[in-house]
Chains A and B, each alone.
Chain A
Amino acid sequence: MTNDEKLKSIVSAILGVSVTDVHDALSSTDADTWDSLNHINLVTAVEEEFGVRFPTERMDQMKSVALIKAELGALGIQFDA
């Protein structure tokens, strides 16, 4: 499984959306189930599955799939272009 597929399956599992609906632009403003509560669950799940830990102040900066990828990138997790 690529990192891209892995992230998509995590977002799908936590937010309850189909994997095919998960794209980089998906964000807390347009996804119904991406509320503040699920945001914490999502960030925690990404940490658990990728084995990383985000600095706490970054948590509020990760409110879209693209932004999560950027934060993971900053911790050395590569995504194919």
Chain B
Amino acid sequence: MTASTPHPPPSHADAIRILDGVADDPTQVALASAYRQFDALADAIPHTSLRLAVLSTFTTAPLIPAIRLAAIRAGIRADVWNAPFGQVAPTLINPQSGLDAFTPDVTLVVTRLADIVPSLYDGAGATSTPIAHAIADYLNQLSAAIGAFRQRSQSTLLIQNFERPDYVVAGLAETEAAGGQIDLWRSANERLGEIAAEAGNCCVMQYDALVARHGASSWIDPRTELFGRIPVAPRRYWDYAGFIRRYLQPLAGRTRKVIVLDADNTLWGGILGDDGPDGIKLGHDFPGNAFTRFQRRLLALQQRGIILCVASKNEPGSVERVIETHPDMVLRPEHFASMRVSWAPKPDAVREIAATLNLNTDSFVFIDDSAVECAMMRETLPEVLTVHLPDDPARYPSVIASLDCFDQYTLSEEDRRRGAMYKAEADRQRLASTTVDLPTFYRGLEMRLSIRVNDERAVSRIAQMTQRTNQFNMNTIRCTEGDILAWMRSGDHDVVTLSLSDRFGDSGVVGLAVIRKSHRQWTLHMMLMSCRVLGRTVESTFIRWIATRADAAGVSVLAGAFTLTQKNRPFSDFYGQCGFSPPSPDTNDSLWVLKVESADTTIPDWFDIESDAVA
């Protein structure tokens, strides 16, 4: 027997990460391994408990682990009681069946017409009267059983409806005429609607829509269906679990209410600061039309009561102007309840929005294209549902369609009074008072800087950067490849490039400094960096690295040139923040000045730096 070292219990963020890992690739091994930790995961996630009874005509046991894991991801701890297989009506009718003793908050009735009347789904004798009678008898029996249960219990009832027959024997001749397979199927589902209305506090679950969404051929694995009586393919267990969870969320008060959106590469293609309002992709042709479709779906949610907000790292005012004036925007300022456009960490922006709206962050959804922003949000505010957009904008609209976290029931007032409220062991965290622990977060990014001096292979990329970078650009000097090469080959200039890679991938060359060297002074004639990598101390570390080299070369002063433009205004104090003294107002100089020997050149421990520079 191997001794195992006790693991520390997972944190809320750890638990979310584990469950999202399962959701990304819900293999049997992933589900089994995660389910083994269910109690620890449930302890880590603030949750509401729900007693869930499952009555079924097929084997539901393999689905229970997935259902419980999907539910706890949404903050619902489902404690499940499974009725004996194939005994739906007796379980409902008999007060001693165990169902009453379980005191369910929610009772799931998951039956398949295919189990009751298989010939309907095999096309045999579909137009014969005995089939229609068998269906009617079954549904009458179900109605009576539900009625009997309803006399004794106020538990919410969820009845799964029937999937559309995939094998329609009449083929093209099927006219949905009375008595045909499709007609019988449709009537059966309508009858379920009537049963639900009679019972009160009862909803019909749209299983047919779920199967249609995935396609009948991928939904069922005939092998597990025939061998194990499991009508859901193993690869789809997680999707089924999400379907059940969708119906539980509003009952547990776990519906999301707010979407906080990034702007660049989320609402539009491109980076506003670099591409300008005319350069961003938004409009009628791809990729712009992917973004307009994405916005239309968000607008639809807003019109049905979901609150939209923006949290964007950009110059304040720039994003708002685009939303107000760009001709192809679908969403306009009136659709947003709050816009936070600043360089502060996004979790802070989300907290501020939550305070403004007086809503808990656990009702928030955060959507961003940046893996780094999503990682920071998941680690700082794990109760926020963080959605990382896929690489391809064409897939953005389908992300909105599959969020499944905004549902509300409209049960009538009468039903609400009749239905008992489930026990709510609300165990919600207070609005987090912890600040983002940046050093730990930065270390977790596993950032590697690669710094090259006068690397002629990068000339083309360097020239391109000088053309395109507008925001973090201290000088906005546009260069040709010839200019760069000339500097590299001259003895009195160094062209220094910085590349960044991290846990999420390789960003390539993202920083550039052109240094004019003289005996006592090095001047940063050009200094620029891609917006994407700002806010993680890369820019200040680059300066420190250069200062270290200046010191080693016996240089006493490192100077930085700065020319103010509209676009680089947010960074006008960058050299100041790095410890440089501002240009003296008396002189005509625009140079910031750093005395190298007294400069702080410590390189933060969250960087791994590799360089080809000779000492």
Contacts and interface: CB of A to CB of B under 8 A. Distances in A.
B32 interface: yes
B16 to A, nearest CB: 21
Interface in B207-235: 223-224, 226-228, 230, 234
Given A18-B1, A18-B2, A37 B228 contact: yes
Given A18-B1, A18-B2, A20-B2, A40 B228 contact: yes
B226 to A, nearest CB: 7
A30 interface: no
Contacts of B227: 40, 56, 59
A5 B59 CA distance: 31
Interface string A7-38: 00110011010111000000000000000110
A80 interface: no
B59 A41 contact: no
A42 to B, nearest CB: 8
Nearest to B65: A41
A41 B28 contact: yes
Interface in B56-115: 59, 61-62
A16 B29 CA distance: 11
Given A18-B2, A44-B224, A45-B32, A37 B61 contact: yes
Contacts of B584: none
Nearest to A36: B228
B133 interface: no
Contact of A10 (B29, B36, B226, B234): B29
A13 B61 CA distance: 17
Contacts of B224: 40, 44
Nearest to B36: A16
B581 interface: no
Interface in B16-51: 27-29, 32-33, 36
Contact of B29 (A13, A37, A59): A13
Given A18-B1, A40-B224, A56-B223, A45 B62 contact: no
A9 B226 CA distance: 28
Given A13-B29, A13-B32, A44 B226 contact: no
A45 B224 CA distance: 13
Nearest to A39: B228
B36 A44 contact: no
A13 B226 CA distance: 25
Interface residues of A, number: 19
A37 B62 contact: yes
Interface size bucket, B side?
10 to 19
Given A18-B1, A36-B228, A48-B27, A41 B32 contact: yes
B230 A40 contact: yes
Contacts of B223: 56, 59
Nearest to A56: B223
A14 B1 CA distance: 19
Interface in B508-545: none
Contacts of A19: 2
A22 to B, nearest CB: 12
Contacts of A16: 32, 36
Contact of B28 (A9, A36, A48, A56): A48
A49 B230 contact: no
Contacts of A13: 29, 32-33, 36
A44 B234 CA distance: 7
B24 to A, nearest CB: 14
A45 B27 contact: yes
A17 B29 CA distance: 13
A41 to B, nearest CB: 5
Contacts of B234: 40-41, 44, 48
Nearest to B61: A37
B62 A14 contact: no
A41 B27 contact: no
A48 B2 contact: no
Nearest to A59: B227
Nearest to A15: B32
Contacts of A14: 28-29, 32
A45 B234 CA distance: 9
B32 A56 contact: no
A18 B4 CA distance: 10
Nearest to A57: B227
Interface string B276-319: 00000000000000000000000000000000000000000000
A48 B62 contact: no
Contacts of B27: 45, 48-49
Contacts of A36: 228
A38 B178 CA distance: 43
A14 to B, nearest CB: 5
A7 to B, nearest CB: 11
Nearest to B222: A56
Given A14-B28, A56-B227, 12 more contacts: A10-B29, A13-B32, A13-B36, A14-B32, A19-B2, A20-B2, A40-B224, A41-B28, A41-B32, A45-B29, A48-B27, A49-B29
27 contacts: A10-B29, A13-B29, A13-B32, A13-B33, A14-B28, A14-B29, A14-B32, A16-B36, A18-B1, A18-B2, A20-B2, A37-B62, A40-B224, A40-B227, A40-B228, A41-B32, A41-B62, A44-B28, A44-B224, A44-B234, A45-B27, A45-B29, A45-B32, A56-B223, A56-B226, A56-B227, A59-B227
Interface of B: 1-2, 27-29, 32-33, 36, 59, 61-62, 223-224, 226-228, 230, 234
